[in-house]
Amino acid sequence: MTLEDAIDKASSMFLAEGFQNEDSRWQAKVLVAYTASLKPSQLYLEHNFQLNIPQKEKLFLMVKQRISGVPLQHVIGEWDFYGRTFTVDKRALVPRPETELLVEFITTAELPPCPLVMDVGTGSGIIGITLALEIPDSRVIGTDISKAAIELADENRQLLNANNYSAVNCHLADLPPSAHYLGKDEKFDVIVANLPYIPSKDISSLQTEVKNYDPLLALDGGAEGTLLILELIRTIPEKIRSGGLVVLETGYDQELSVPSLFDRKLWSDVRTGKDLWENHRMVTAIRR
């Protein structure tokens, strides 16, 4: 079976299950490329590549998993974020392209030499590890209340050789780590967080592959979706230096609610940012 034949077959199986036409072919390409140990962009360069019997069996097993509702990222066990491939599974949220906006904002900001960065709710480590690699002289600490997520983040740290990143488990009441994780009198230059921001009442209406496979702990933001965001904003003023930067990923409908949580006596330049789809996605602030 050629790669093109495999794509056609997998795509037709997705279409038969109600997948959209464009989406079905894209997902088929991703699975076929993974089966052949290629990148999707390389598929059309391999005109003579033939899938052997074990590869065909593997491919159609993955197609059936995807049809059953398993997220595409979990089916192949990896996903790209900011040009790097991370291990992904049910222990943390699937990396989403809109989150790259936070990394882009931080890496283009004016930071001091050797910045100390905190990634709160690090999950699989995609933000913290990416920042560690994009800012080689930085020191990045990722925290999460999920021990399973911390294990996954550490696996990705080792996979990508991010030696200036470390992941630590913390309690809910200690979202930014206590002083014993830091040197004497140290304060953070950057605190970035992608905390749960979906209101509890909206969880049941999420896509099946999100609500059934992403950890509830990483989705549920409380009654208004801002419970943990509020707790973070309340606790970090003494843990970030004057002039330090806070960057938060927030829900599309929190453009007004999250900025209002910042005390303007403590914070300046409270701003919002949109993603590539022109949806509200980010709130940033500077410590006075």
What does the pLDDT read at residue 238?
A: 87
pLDDT of residue 232: 92
Q: Contact 31/63 with Cβ under 8 angstroms?
A: yes
- Is the same domain home to 124 and 31? no
Containing structural domain, residue 38: 3-68
Q: Are 109 and 86 in contact (CB under 8 A)?
A: no
Among all chains, which residue has been given the structure tokens 């590869």? 55
Of residues 14, 135, 150, 30, the one with CA closest to residue 80: 30
Query: Is 201 found in the same domain as 219?
Result: yes
Residues 157 and 56 in one domain: no
21 and 115 share one domain: no
Residue 173 has a pLDDT of 47
20 and 147 in a common domain: no
Mean pLDDT of 231-247: 94
Per the CB < 8 A criterion, the answer to whether 220 and 121 are in contact is: no
Same domain, 163 and 38: no
pTM of the model: 0.93
Decide if 73 is inside a domain.
Answer: no
pLDDT tens-digit series, residues 147-175: 999 999 999 999 999 999 998 887 654 55
Quick check: is 175 in a domain?
yes
pLDDT at 125 over 50: yes
The answer, yes or no, to whether residue 266 has pLDDT greater than 90, is yes
Checking if the pLDDT of 86 tops 90, the result is: yes
- Within 8 A by CB and 6+ apart from 201, the residues are 223
Whether residues 214 and 85 share a domain: the answer is: yes
Q: Is residue 60 part of a domain?
A: yes
More confident: 158 or 44: 158
Q: What is the CATH number of the domain that holds 260?
A: 3.40.50.150
Q: Is residue 202 part of a domain?
A: yes
